[in-house]
Amino acid sequence: MSAEWIEFKGKKIIYVNYMGMNKVEMTEMVKKATQMILDAKSDEVLSLSNVTECFFDKDLMETIKTQGAISLPHCKKAAVVGVTGIRSVFLSAANAFWPKSRKPFDTVEEAKNYLVE
């Protein structure tokens, strides 16, 4: 449960791990991750979010859509892990709203490989 810069195959990736967070924690982490992306002062950010076993509702989805509209223009590529069930519906809805979409993957390793290729 964190937002941090990691290195993978010589490239920096912002890895935001929402696993197990409640709605309040996720809302705060979404805003923190957006600020970290803006602080990078680059339009080439590689972004990876892990939403495995996370809770989503309409209010949280609105925060995610709003923050994504701010941060995604600065991302070269964005990936997300843990998109199953209702989360896939939320991702499809958010991707329709965002200027760039997040690509879903089954594992963190698959997502990292996609981001650096």
Cα distances (angstroms) measured from residue 61 to each of 41, 42, 47, 90: 25, 25, 18, 7
Q: pLDDT tens, 53-100? A: 887 788 988 898 889 889 988 999 999 998 766 666 565 666 555 566
The pTM score is 0.85
Q: What's the rounded Cα separation, in Å, for the pair 71 and 33? A: 8
Ordered by where they begin, the domains of the chain are 2-109 (3.30.750)
Confidence at residue 29, expressed as pLDDT on a 0 to 100 scale: 95
Tokens read off for 108: 């963190």
The order of strands in the sheet holding 2-8 is 2-8, 11-17, 45-50, 75-81, 103-105
**∠ Cα 114 115 117 (to 5°):** 65
Confidence of residue 106 (pLDDT cuts 50, 70, 90): confident
